[in-house]
Amino acid sequence: MIETWRWYGPDLDTISLSEVAQTGATGIVNALHEIPYGEVWTREAIAARRRIIEDTGFRWEVVESLPIHERIKRGDGDLSALFAAYRQSMVNLAAEGVQVICYNFMPVLDWTRTDLAAPVARGGTCLRFEAYRMAAFEIHMLGREGARDDYDPEVQTRATEWFSASTEAEREALLYAIMAGLPGAFDRYDINGLRTQLALYDGIGREGIRANYRRFLEEVIPTAEEVGLRLCVHPDDPPRDILGLPRVVSTAEDIDWILNAVDSPANGLTLCTGSLGANPANDLPAIAARFAERIHFAHLRNVRKDADGSFEEAAHLDGDTDMVAVLRVLLAEETRRKAQGRSDWSIPFRPDHGHELGPDIGRGAFPGYPLVGRLRGLAELRGVIRALS
């Protein structure tokens, strides 16, 4: 398996490529976060970023992400220019040697947490999703109609208690945490701005989102086939409806629908064991085995779940997901691909969402993306892979 590291670029990341080199990873996962959604990634901009990566001894293995404009997700108006821009960016990436594009189809928000620095038992911090605090945000801060229907009575009671006792600073911190999953420098919302964005999805529903997703795949997968790219969708995080918005990449059934909507090797999956693992109904080794042929990229992390729907990032080998079993499946798939004579038989993976440990704390890394915490995860995963191999 190809060891990769997510790096946010020279202007955004507090971790340098020279530090990443010391982790032993050989590939970089990167995106041009400075370019607004819907605009073309020019070949010149891609080449400039590729040179920075390669000059430090790495290969740019995966783009994460080439964002999909919200209008495409909503099916809003004439989308021909947005689809054309997306396809041109794909062509330009392929021309510069990038072959894998990770993307997501989550409406409005990317990954969602309520706490960016929850304490870990023996020191350090982790990302956490607390059900009652999310309920407090939706019911009391956002005032979303129908929000109470999404939460159990006990969670609603705790939400009301928290909101009644919270300070303005604590509410602002909660809003900041919920917005923190958005990559790049665009589309951070205040309460009114978020209400406005949510209103744009009124009446669309799950089947509407699926229809818009199918159209996206129909528009871009033929180009991916032509230029030798593999697209791989990232699962919803968390794998449940959020803010009343349908999430359509949360279960094995969802993944099956996506891969069959446009049945092509270029239409694949990013296996994120943390995102899918936050749903108690998801069996990660079984999902990995079922869709192994279409897994083009893997995010390997673990979560520890609570009965009320809360969860937090666990150490990579310590959560609810059997990471050894997942890695066994991925290694078997690599063996199968290699026997077929494929040049792209090795699956890139990255350690995802590490704990902030020791010198990570206070450094200002992107939430979930510290140096030491991810290095610990990479070392643990590397050891399992070596043992299984």
Active-site positions? 234, 272, 299, 352-353, 369
Distance of CA 310 to the CA centre of its chain: 18
Which residue in 14, 19, 25, 113 sits closest to 361, CA to CA?
A: 14
Distance separating alpha carbons of residues 146 and 156, to the nearest angstrom: 13
**Any residues with CB less than 8 A from the CB of 94 and at least 6 apart, and which?**
227, 228, 229
| Cα 24 from Cα 251, distance rounded (Å) | 33
Report d(CA 94, CA 85) in Å as an integer: 14
How close are the terminal C-alpha atoms of the chain, in Å? 10
Question: Chain centroid to CA 265: how far?
Answer: 21
Distance CA 229, CA 267 (A): 9
Tell me how far CA of residue 38 lies from CA of 86, 88, 351, 362, in angstroms.
7, 11, 29, 34
In the structure encoding, which two tokens stand for residue 384, read together?
């399992």
Angle at 27 between CA 26 and CA 33, to 5 degrees: 145
